[in-house]
């Protein structure tokens, strides 16, 4: 069990996060030293896939998270480790294009391209969902009972965004996507219970447009979440050991910090728990 107890009434159904992949960047993607399947978000009727990179479909099937049950797809920017399997998920969500249903919310570059990239999702596939959202910083929308806000990121794709997800009675979860540290990055994430940081590089190894462990320390200190979760690891941090980087952040911030692992299930209710194999069976009631 992780995290501190809250004063909220125990919710009838928690928010579940399944980390289908915790790798990121070119070489982690190519080698699959960590998978790149993104994150599945389950709460009440909401069944959302966040950043379906290469292998997201296969990882979902292996985890018995049926792709055609999703009703929302979030894509943060136009790089393949975040969008690669999006079109097949759209086909799954819309029953092979036979039912106009579900929501696709994606960065502007993903939908329309930019000076840096072509559209990542074809016009053909964009016609399939019931709702298309051109998600820019400050854009708000709902997918079932979850209220979602797009948040600014600073990345090599200038249209890149993060997401803040609000679940009634439970609280907020945030995902930064790929971003370098910048003045004001933390403000939209203040007050979240779980802060998911895409930490590509270890301490002392900066790369433009991306986050290091040093950046994660600053963001965690500024936002003060109940728990910080690291994911989207590049090869340098995979080799160095993400757990040791998480320990550094926890020691410097005093905030519980974990490095996500492929297949990890997190359940957020009155308390925040990392589910054991036995407890994971309870996920089936939401599928």
Instruction: Determine, yes or no, domain membership for 2.
Output: no
Residue 284: DSSP 8-state: G
Q: What's the rounded mean pLDDT across residues 232-251?
A: 96
268 inside domain: yes
Looking at residue 207, its pLDDT comes to 86
User: pLDDT per residue over 107-148, tens digit each?
Assistant: 999 999 998 899 999 999 999 999 999 999 999 999 999 999
Domain assignment present for residue 282? The answer is no
Q: Is residue 286 part of a domain?
A: no
Alpha carbon of 134 to those of 33, 38, 105, 115, 205: distances in Å?
Answer: 32, 20, 6, 17, 33
Q: What is the mean pLDDT of residues 203-226?
A: 94
Q: Which residue has the tokens 């854009």?
A: 139
Tokens of 256: 């519980």
Within a domain: 190: yes
pTM of the predicted model, to two decimals?
A: 0.92
Structural domain that includes position 234: 15-276
Q: 84 is written with which tokens?
A: 């690669």
pLDDT digits (tens, 9 = 90+) for 257-274: 999 999 999 999 999 999
Which CATH number belongs to the domain containing residue 127 in this structure? 3.60.15.10
Q: What are residue 195's phi and psi, to 5 degrees?
A: -110, 115
Quote the CA–CA distance of 41 and 69 in Å, as a whole number. Answer: 12
Burial of 90 (0-12, 13-18, 19+ CB in 10 A): buried
Q: Is residue 287 part of a domain?
A: no
Map tokens 């797809």 to a residue: 73
Residue 50 in any domain: the answer is yes
Number of separate domains in the chain: 1
Tell me what the pLDDT averaged over the chain comes to.
Answer: 93
Residue 114 lies in a domain: yes
> What is the model's pLDDT at position 205?
87
Using 50, 70 and 90 to split pLDDT, how confident is the model at 5?
very low
Q: Residue 54 and residue 166: Cα distance in Å, rounded?
A: 27
């Amino acid at each position: 069990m992780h995290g501190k107890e809250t004063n909220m009434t125990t919710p009838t159904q928690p928010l579940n996060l399944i980390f289908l992949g915790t790798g990121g960047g070119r070489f982690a993607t190519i080698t699959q030293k960590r998978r790149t399947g993104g994150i599945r978000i389950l709460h009440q009727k909401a069944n959302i896939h966040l950043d379906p990179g290469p292998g997201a479909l296969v990882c979902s099937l292996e985890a018995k998270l049926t792709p055609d049950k999703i009703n929302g797809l979030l894509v943060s920017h136009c790089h393949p480790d975040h969008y690669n399997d999006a079109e097949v998920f759209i086909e799954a969500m819309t029953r092979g294009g036979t039912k106009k249903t579900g929501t696709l919310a994606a960065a502007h570059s993903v939908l329309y391209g930019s000076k840096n990239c072509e559209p990542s999702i074809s016009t053909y596939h964009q016609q399939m969902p019931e709702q298309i959202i051109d998600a820019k910083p400050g854009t708000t929308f709902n997918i079932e009972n979850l209220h979602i806000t797009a948040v600014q990121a600073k990345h090599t794709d200038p249209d890149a965004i993060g997401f803040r997800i609000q679940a009634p009675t439970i609280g907020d979860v945030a995902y930064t996507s790929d971003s370098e540290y910048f003045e004001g990055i933390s403000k939209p994430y203040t007050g979240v219970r779980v802060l998911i940081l895409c930490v590509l590089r270890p301490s002392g190894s900066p790369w433009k447009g991306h986050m290091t462990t040093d950046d994660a320390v600053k963001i965690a200190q500024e936002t003060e979440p109940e728990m910080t979760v690291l994911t989207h690891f590049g090869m340098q941090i995979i080799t160095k050991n993400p757990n040791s980087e998480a320990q550094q952040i926890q020691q410097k911030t005093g905030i519980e910090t974990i490095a996500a692992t492929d297949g990890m299930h997190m359940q957020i209710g009155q308390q925040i728990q990392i589910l054991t194999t036995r407890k994971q069976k309870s996920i089936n009631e939401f599928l």
